[in-house]
């Protein structure tokens, strides 16, 4: 198989972790007889510095033509600390999602047994946790109109808007995801208060008969927030709207004990983008200490998305072996135990795949 991949390294540690993911992808290609080619594009602060635009048209074309994107991270303190900045790196991320039609963010969380004691929760609570959060990306309050402030500046307003089409497409995706797993879908909403949530609940119930093998449940977002901490193993697939999903996926990410272990995918009708959920971690940039495993696991999701399930499983097995063997960066290493650099972890995973 031959596959072109758009590479958007981005800012901070982005170039370092993307480099290790490419190393692993090339190991997969060598092992299984595939050829991956890469085209680089600028995004975020790096793109602002070069072009004045956090998501240049040239980068957009690269992503569209490839159809598959491997993305690092966005963000730079020089923009965070400048209140007068008119263009910010994060604007590029929102525009990229919107212009590529990436309507669903998929975040799997698997609790590695060797890391269960690193979780802020007790081992007996998190051990065996294995669920997927699916967040709608293009609708809701982040994009709703009208939005703004009153003339005197003392009142602000945002509008949460969802259409049937937006809700149906992500619920179909969630039902199908549940069919490949333990066949349980939790739709998170606030239907007792919010009109858009009632639309979500109505459409979920309308679609459910088409997926008779999936058990559907509804849960208010405040209850879901509590149960994610109290009983994370009860969940299989969770789907929710943009704002709720933004909050719940960040809450869920803490369960594993390290953001450096969590991959994600953002998918649309024509393009799919794969990225670690963590940020650009500028304090670690250039130091070769960042954890590349979330990015490598994002590459595994990429492989599975294009139909290479055996290859994706090989990457996951290599990561599992690295964790069990202690070939990890400082963020998840046991105290007093030798730690490994970003590139050393990538080398180990790639070598394990090659056999």
190, 211, 236, 348: which is the annotated catalytic residue? 190
Cα separation, 179 vs 304, whole angstroms: 16
Which is the catalytic residue, given 49, 246, 320, 347? 246
Cβ atoms of 272 and 299 within 8 Å: the answer is no
Residue 142: active-site member: yes
Handedness of CA 38, 44, 49, 53 (dihedral sign): positive
Is residue 250 flagged as an active site residue? yes
Q: What secondary structure letter does DSSP report for 288?
A: S
Rounded to an integer, what distance in angstroms lies between the CA atom of residue 190 and that of residue 244? 9
Contact at 8 Å (CB) between 14 and 72? Answer: yes
Would you say the C-alpha torsion 254, 346, 15, 242 has a positive or negative sign?
Answer: negative
Decide if 245 contacts 105 (C-beta within 8 A): yes
Q: What number of other Cβ atoms are within 10 A of residue 49's Cβ?
A: 14
Q: Please identify which of the residues 82, 157, 250, 287 carries the catalytic annotation.
A: 250
Say which of 82, 113, 117, 222 is annotated catalytic.
222
DSSP 232: G
157 catalytic? Reply is: no
Task: Please state whether the peptide bond connecting residue 146 to the residue before it is cis, i.e. omega within 30 degrees of 0.
Answer: yes
Answer whether 23's CB lies under 8 Å from 347's CB.
yes
Distances from the Cα of 177 to the Cα of 104, 116, 211, 307, 309, angstroms: 12, 25, 11, 15, 15
Q: Of 142, 162, 340, 348, which is the active-site residue?
A: 142
347 is catalytic: no
Is 320 in the active site?
Answer: no
Q: Give yes or no for a contact between 204 and 102, defined as CB atoms under 8 angstroms apart.
A: no
How far is 98 from 220, CA to CA, in rounded Å? 27
Residues serving a catalytic function are: 142, 190, 222, 246, 250
């Amino acid at each position: 198989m031959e596959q072109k991949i758009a590479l958007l390294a981005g800012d901070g540690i982005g170039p370092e972790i993307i480099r290790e993911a490419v190393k692993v992808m090339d190991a997969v290609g060598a092992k299984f007889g595939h050829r991956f080619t890469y085209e680089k594009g600028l995004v975020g602060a790096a793109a602002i510095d070069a072009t004045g635009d956090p998501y240049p048209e040239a980068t957009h074309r690269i992503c569209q033509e490839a159809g598959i994107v491997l993305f690092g991270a966005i963000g730079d303190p020089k923009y965070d600390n400048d209140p007068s900045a008119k263009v910010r790196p994060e604007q590029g991320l929102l525009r990229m999602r919107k212009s590529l039609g990436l309507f669903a963010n998929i975040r799997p969380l698997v609790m590695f047994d060797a890391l269960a004691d690193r979780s802020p929760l007790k081992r007996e609570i998190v051990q065996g946790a294995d669920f997927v959060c699916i967040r709608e990306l293009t609708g809701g309050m982040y994009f709703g109109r009208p939005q703004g402030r009153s003339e005197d500046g003392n009142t602000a307003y945002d509008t949460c808007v969802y259409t049937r089409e937006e809700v149906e497409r992500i619920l179909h995706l969630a039902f199908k995801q549940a069919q490949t797993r333990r066949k349980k879908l939790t739709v998170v909403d606030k239907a007792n208060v919010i009109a858009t949530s009632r639309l979500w609940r109505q459409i979920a119930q309308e679609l459910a008969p088409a997926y008779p093998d999936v058990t559907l449940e509804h849960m208010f977002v405040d209850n879901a927030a509590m149960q994610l901490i109290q009983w994370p193993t009860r969940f299989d697939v969770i789907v929710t709207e943009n704002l709720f999903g933004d909050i719940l996926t960040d809450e869920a990410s803490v369960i594993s004990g390290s953001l450096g272990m969590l991959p994600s995918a953002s998918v649309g009708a024509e393009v799919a983008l794969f990225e670690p959920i963590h940020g650009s971690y500028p304090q670690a940039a250039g130091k070769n200490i960042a954890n590349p495993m979330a990015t490598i696991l994002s590459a595994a999701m990429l492989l599975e998305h294009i139909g290479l399930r055996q290859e994706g499983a090989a990457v996951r097995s290599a990561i599992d072996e690295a964790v069990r063997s202690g070939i990890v960066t400082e963020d998840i290493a046991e105290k007093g135990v030798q730690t490994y650099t970003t590139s050393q972890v990538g080398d180990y995973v790639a070598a394990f795949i090659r056999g």
